[in-house]
Amino acid sequence: MVIKGIDLGLQVWLFGEVNPLKKEVKLLKKEPKNFKNIYAFPASKSTFRKYTFPFKDKNKIEKAVRTQIQLDIPVEPDQLEYGYYVHHNKGKSEVFCVIVRKEDLSSIKDAEIIDSEIFSLLRVARYYGIKSCKIIHFSEDYILYLQIEDDFIQQARVLSSVPEIDNETYLSGKIPEDLKNTRILKNPEENPVLNVAFGAVLRGIDDTGVDFLHKAESKNTERLIKGAIYLFTAVVLINIALFVKLFLLEKQLKTVKEKEKEIFMKGFNYTGEIFDPLEQAKGKLKAIKEGSSISTDAVDVLSFIAKEKKSFPDIKIYRINITESRFILQGTAHDIKSVENFKNRLSQKYPASIDETVSTPDGKIRFSISGEVK
């Protein structure tokens, strides 16, 4: 990001490329094609207030500052613009507030941010690791005096004459020739006249200060609204996706159940009816008399099966198929042990084996036994 830092007091500016992530600044010699204008508004056209509140809540501080300004400044509130910086110290909130007239801002049309030159000088001091000091800045028609303690402006005054200079004082701006031997606050250009402009460029990596345009606040509000909209949209889309997925899963489950039922019916051909072996034997005999060439050995097989079946009351047989060489029984039992014992009893006369056993939904065992007819 490239910033043009503009000092409205001395009418000078600097171009700087900033990297907010690495906190780096590189001053540019030539004017780039694209850049953002950040203005440092003169202290001579501002007034200042310093407040201390016993709370840290942002909303409370905003209301308290607005109320205090209305009490302190004998001008209609709609004619003023203000910004403030909060420093939390020992459970209290120290607030340094800068107030300007809206009509003085109206001529600035191309600003990304309009800050105060006071905070530009504070950022320069911070950039060089100076946390506490005094700064005397010489502008075009006035002298700005700042007292900084622990990265916070404790005092700001606009003067017409040079105040006392001590060992904690740094000079800045258009320093008179007779004072140039005093300690000077400089910048990478080694020119104190450019300090405020350089401090405006530093706004790209250090947001300590104010913005009389309140664009940052508007952007934060806009981001919050957009975030809420995106979150709401995401929740709606997720719910729709879950609903569609649930619908498809239910449809798929229904298809699987239908297919399972179809396979079940084909594999077991279970009708739900119970047949008595003797009654079924009569039907088999009738079929034989009507033209079947099956020998009368089938009667012996059925008679034996019926006899052995009486010993197993829990076994129900619903189908018997008999050919010249083998028979197949299909039925249900309470447990696998009964099926095994029934098979063993049949094997006393006809070698038999269990072809299949399946558990039914009601907890019974559906089985198929085949045996050899000799």
Report H helices in the chain.
58-72, 102-105, 117-127, 195-201, 215-268, 277-289, 297-309, 336-346
What CA–CA distance (Å, rounded) separates 220 from 224?
6
Give the pair of three-digit tokens for residue 22: 């690495």
Cβ contact 13:196 at 8 Å: no
Q: At what angle do helices 297-309 and 336-346 cross, to 10 degrees?
A: 140
Q: 252: which residues sit within 8 A by CB, 6+ positions away?
A: none
What CA–CA distance (Å, rounded) separates 343 from 42?
108
pLDDT single digits (tens) 158-185 = 999 999 999 999 999 999 999 988 899 9
Give the pair of three-digit tokens for residue 16: 């700087």
Query: What pLDDT sits at residue 275?
Result: 44
Q: Which residues pair with 38 in a beta bridge?
A: 5, 113
Helices and strands (H and E) in the chain: how many: 8, 16
Best CA proximity match to 297, nearest among 285, 286, 287: 285
What CA–CA distance (Å, rounded) separates 322 from 327?
4
pLDDT single digits (tens) 179-232 = 988 899 989 999 999 999 999 999 999 999 999 998 765 454 445 566 667 777
pLDDT single digits (tens) 112-137 = 999 999 999 999 999 999 999 999 99
What CA–CA distance (Å, rounded) separates 118 from 129?
17
What CA–CA distance (Å, rounded) separates 368 from 321?
11
Least confident of 33-42, 162-171, 277-286, 346-355: 277-286
Total-model pTM: 0.59
Distances (CA, A) of 268 to 263, 307, 329: 8, 25, 12
